Structure 1
Amino acid sequence: MRDISRISADGAKRLYRTVNRTAMLALVSLLALAMLLPPLTPAQAASDYRSAIVVDLNSGEVLFARSADTKRYPASLTKIMTLYVLFGYLRDGRITLDSELTITPHAAAQPPTKLGLKPGSTIRTEDAIKSLVTKSANDMAAAVAENLAGTESNFARIMTQQARAIGMKNTVFKNASGLPNNAQVTTARDMAILGERIMRDFPEYYHYFSLTSFSYKGRSYRNHNHLLSNYSGTDGIKTGFIRASGFNLTASCRRDGKHLLTVVLGGSTSRGRDATVRYLFDKHWAKASVGSTTNPFVASPSLPLRRPPVFAVASAGGSAAPAARPAAYQPQQQPEPQRVAVRNPLAQAQPQVQAQPAPQPQLVGQSDAGGPYHVQVGSYTTPQDAERRLGMIQNKAGTLLSGHQPVTTSFQHGSQQWYRARFANFSQSDAQQTCSSLKRMSVDCIAMRAQ
């Protein structure tokens, strides 16, 4: 037995030495081969994405796009639209930053990442906004949805309809957080449209996206968008991740009068995704145009918001090829009903803030509106929403609509009463010309005979 043990041990040692030498030779061969291969370029080292787009927000030119119209899962980039809709409610005065949002059992049951508030508790709207931007709190996204629209599914329909209204043709929302849902999809181009629009449409609230941290009840939460602290000029906006989507990021960078927006979807790691965004910024910065020294996304009582840029695609020669105005800025008239708007059943426990008074339109029936032709600018579930829309359009295009009476006409769609927002007293040709002019101002409309 001793001899057999000694022979077995000696054999094992020889086998180990042989295997070890073989492994070392293989390693040396691999290292030698690696030395012969060319080093990875920065582009190869930072290509951690499935879809990407880079937009010059001064000129509206698309400087780079790859698989930009391929549908992918948005993950927490969804919360940008959640905030876009919320900012609209704030702008209209339906809620304020100090309004208390009630946490429902549904909201409290959302999986992490979340703040973890208990059902029945409340949170200020502004704190909810900060938690969405920094911690990407799923429970706060659901709370916003339920407090504003009654249910999260109702709110998701509003989000999708808002996406269509601003030109996001390939996006569907099914929840307010971005948690997994196979039917919830978007594209890099659509997210670029949303990123530009939230800056342009709500400059008074965009600054929240630049927060590097948020403190709440003694705890501090760091923003997941690390470019805010490690890439000069970054001012927002949002990260996102679920397993099905990979790592996503919409990022805005502004330096020396230049302003680029980059969207990357489908990174395999957060570090690789961030490196890709930095590389895309660096690579296209020299081609970016220099804009006005006045920031077009800062609200000013004396300066109107700039008109949205044309997302023109650069030609092979590097210059911007002529392009038709994209759907983002030529919204098409949607089949009625255009918008879902429901009363919030939780609103009775919240402070009620009246919106600024709008010009009072005449409420008329479907068949007794004045004038042979109308210009319709929307359909809504409450007369107040229709009136608010008319007031907004009058403020934007008052000269164009001078002498034309704002009216609302009601109609029944299923069990729901709807209200059309219209301007009256047009001839057919005048209505068509006016609607064409409004569309050039990014106002959705349709010319039709009074009914």
Structure 2
Amino acid sequence: MKVLTRSFWAPWRRFSSLSLAAVIGLGAVLAPLSEAVADRRIRAAIIIDANTNKVLYTKSADALRSPASLTKIMTLYVLFAYLRAGRLDLDTPLKVSKHAAGQSPTKLGLKPGSTIKVKDAIKALVTKSANDAAAVIAENLGGTEENFGKIMTETAHNLGMKSTTFRNASGLPNKEQLTTARDMGILALRIMRDYPKYYEVFETKYFTYKGRRYRNHNRLLFGYKGTDGIKTGYTRASGFNLTASVQRSDKHLVGVVLGGRTGAQRDAAMRTLFDKHWRKASTKKSKGGALIASLFGTSTPPPPSRKPAYALAGNTPSPAPATIEQGDVSGPGDTVRTSLSPNRPAPRRATRDTYHVQVGAFTTSGDAQNRLGMVQQRASKLLNGHLPFTATFMKGDTEWYRARFAGFSKNDAQSTCAALKRMKLECIALSAE
């Protein structure tokens, strides 16, 4: 698998200087509003200090809204997990089905039977917000777009996005596809922290594919200092949506605006909210700890479980990197950090199956991912269709990573674990959070 560096994305981040007329026009479009006017022209919003996870501003942050093409952030989150797990690489060709080619615009115009490379599909989602490319990713990874929607939803819930449901990979209208500003804020933080090298693609300003050049829909990239992503969205039902990330010096804010009346008003509202709350942003990053209660919308942080950590024999603790969540994920109400290791593309069972099979706990994400891959390889038929993921918990000052397979009934989890033990693979069956 190829390792991404900034040099990979650089050609697509560079752009020629805008003409004076274009700059003047862009400035007019993005002119900031007063905070009161900005507040009236959007339906929901949240501003988060990414250094501390502190919520600086909310408006109807837990109101259910259509995500529109903000959906594609989760589509890419899952795809990045496949890349990191080595299930495909940037040059892997993805097949285009009739279903994918038939998606409504905006799209690249992909033809049934053709292929598109992973790296082109990624940039098509980031810049053009191509619905056909999103469906291609979903079908190649999940078998069907419906199955991929289940993977997306389970991933969202494991990340703490408890109010979010996905039914497709693009964000095209579906009355059951819902999210909140708070949940989209969580997703933005997670994708940039879990996949920092892949996240760099959200800075892409232009993308050329088969002779056509596409401009990123996120206009803040072109006219608001420090913007490094991430995604716009629009449907008639959702209004104009935007998730944005801005870094200047040691400060870093993430914002979500949902339900703008127009694209220009949405962008102006985001700029206004960033400007208003920038002075409150911290220059110091938190050293681990819990994702604070306000971001989860609760009055108090979820308490850590008192259950002991399960670890494979011979695993030696070592310092782990800081994260934004805390809690032994064995207990109800605890927060979960998920990093998919999709060794199988689609879960065969519905998300109502609420038991997991855990195959180890480690002090590094890499060790947990390797364990999942090894167990999946040894017991591929037994674990066919069960979603692999890692969930973190804190033990003292050390972060641990639980390696798990999801989507079991209680009896299935127990019988699967018994079968794994007969193969000399240690495991435990436990209820999902």
- Flag whether TM exceeds 0.5 (same fold): yes
Partner of 2:35: 43
Partner of 2:301: 324
Partner of 2:215: 222
Partner Cα distance (2:217, 2:194) in 1: 24
Letter in 1 for 2:151: I
Letter in 2 for 1:202: Y
Aligned pairs for 1:96-115 within 5 A: 96-115=89-108
The answer on 1:231 being equivalent to 2:224 is: yes
Identical-residue share of aligned pairs (%): 50
Q: 1:191 aligns with which of 153, 173, 184?
A: 184
Partner of 2:364: none
Is the CA contact 1:145–1:176 (under 8 Å) kept in the aligned structure 2? yes
Partner of 2:171: 178
The answer on 1:209 being equivalent to 2:186 is: no
Partner Cα distance (1:102, 1:210) in 2: 26
Change over 3 Å in CA distance of 1:419–1:227 after alignment to 2: farther
The answer on 1:276 being equivalent to 2:257 is: no
Letter in 2 for 1:197: R
Partner Cα distance (1:64, 1:284) in 2: 8
Is the CA contact 1:407–1:421 (under 8 Å) kept in the aligned structure 2? no
Change over 3 Å in CA distance of 1:291–1:167 after alignment to 2: same
Partner Cα distance (1:79, 1:401) in 2: 29
Partner of 2:355: none
Return 407-416 or 273-282, whichever deviates more.
407-416
Q: Deviations over 1:157-180 (max 9, x none)?
A: 000000010000100000000000
RMSD of equivalent CA atoms: 4.6
Change over 3 Å in CA distance of 1:190–1:94 after alignment to 2: same
Change over 3 Å in CA distance of 1:66–1:414 after alignment to 2: same
Partner of 2:83: 90
Partner Cα distance (2:376, 2:96) in 1: 39
Is the CA contact 1:408–1:421 (under 8 Å) kept in the aligned structure 2? no
How far the C-alpha of 1:363 sits from its partner, in A, is 11
Partner Cα distance (2:184, 2:407) in 1: 35
Partner Cα distance (1:311, 1:44) in 2: 27
Partner Cα distance (1:417, 1:110) in 2: 42
The answer on 1:250 being equivalent to 2:243 is: yes
Is the CA contact 2:33–2:269 (under 8 Å) kept in the aligned structure 1? no
Partner Cα distance (1:221, 1:107) in 2: 20
TM-score relative to the length of structure 1: 0.65
Partner Cα distance (1:445, 1:69) in 2: 30
How far the C-alpha of 1:46 sits from its partner, in A, is 2.6
The answer on 1:311 being equivalent to 2:276 is: no
Partner Cα distance (2:125, 2:132) in 1: 9
Query: Which secondary structure state, in structure 1, belongs to the residue aligned with residue 232 of structure 2?
Result: strand
Partner Cα distance (2:406, 2:34) in 1: 60
Partner of 2:142: 149
Change over 3 Å in CA distance of 1:413–1:271 after alignment to 2: same
Change over 3 Å in CA distance of 1:233–1:386 after alignment to 2: same
Partner Cα distance (2:418, 2:185) in 1: 30
Is the CA contact 2:47–2:273 (under 8 Å) kept in the aligned structure 1? yes
Partner Cα distance (1:290, 1:197) in 2: 20
Change over 3 Å in CA distance of 1:410–1:172 after alignment to 2: closer
Partner Cα distance (1:410, 1:363) in 2: 18
Query: Which secondary structure state, in structure 2, belongs to the residue aligned with residue 205 of structure 1?
Result: helix
Partner Cα distance (1:99, 1:149) in 2: 16
Partner Cα distance (2:230, 2:251) in 1: 17
Q: Deviations over 1:292-323 (max 9, x none)?
A: 5xxx9xxxxxxxxx747523549xxxxxx984
Is the CA contact 2:33–2:268 (under 8 Å) kept in the aligned structure 1? no
Query: Which secondary structure state, in structure 2, belongs to the residue aligned with residue 111 of structure 1?
Result: coil
Partner Cα distance (2:149, 2:299) in 1: 35
Partner Cα distance (1:410, 1:313) in 2: 30
Change over 3 Å in CA distance of 1:60–1:118 after alignment to 2: same
| Equivalent residue pairs, number | 342
Letter in 1 for 2:35: A
Q: 1:240 aligns with which of 229, 233, 242?
A: 233
Structure 1: give runs of 5+ residues left out of the alignment: 1-39, 297-305, 315-320, 345-354, 366-379, 425-430, 436-443
Is the CA contact 1:386–1:419 (under 8 Å) kept in the aligned structure 2? no
Query: Which secondary structure state, in structure 1, belongs to the residue aligned with residue 112 of structure 2?
Result: coil
In our comparison, the structure showing a higher alpha carbon Rg is 1
How far the C-alpha of 1:107 sits from its partner, in A, is 0.2
Letter in 2 for 1:192: G
Query: Which secondary structure state, in structure 1, belongs to the residue aligned with residue 55 of structure 2?
Result: strand
Q: 2:121 aligns with which of 107, 114, 128?
A: 128
Q: Deviations over 1:211-240 (max 9, x none)?
A: 111111111100000001100001000000
Partner of 1:77: 70
Partner Cα distance (1:275, 1:87) in 2: 31
TM-score relative to the length of structure 2: 0.67
Q: 2:111 aligns with which of 106, 118, 123?
A: 118
Query: Which secondary structure state, in structure 1, belongs to the residue aligned with residue 280 of structure 2?
Result: coil
Aligned pairs for 1:279-358 within 5 A: 279-291=272-284, 307=288, 310-313=291-294, 323-325=300-302, 329=325, 343=345, 358=371
Change over 3 Å in CA distance of 1:382–1:286 after alignment to 2: farther
Query: Which secondary structure state, in structure 1, belongs to the residue aligned with residue 196 of structure 2?
Result: coil
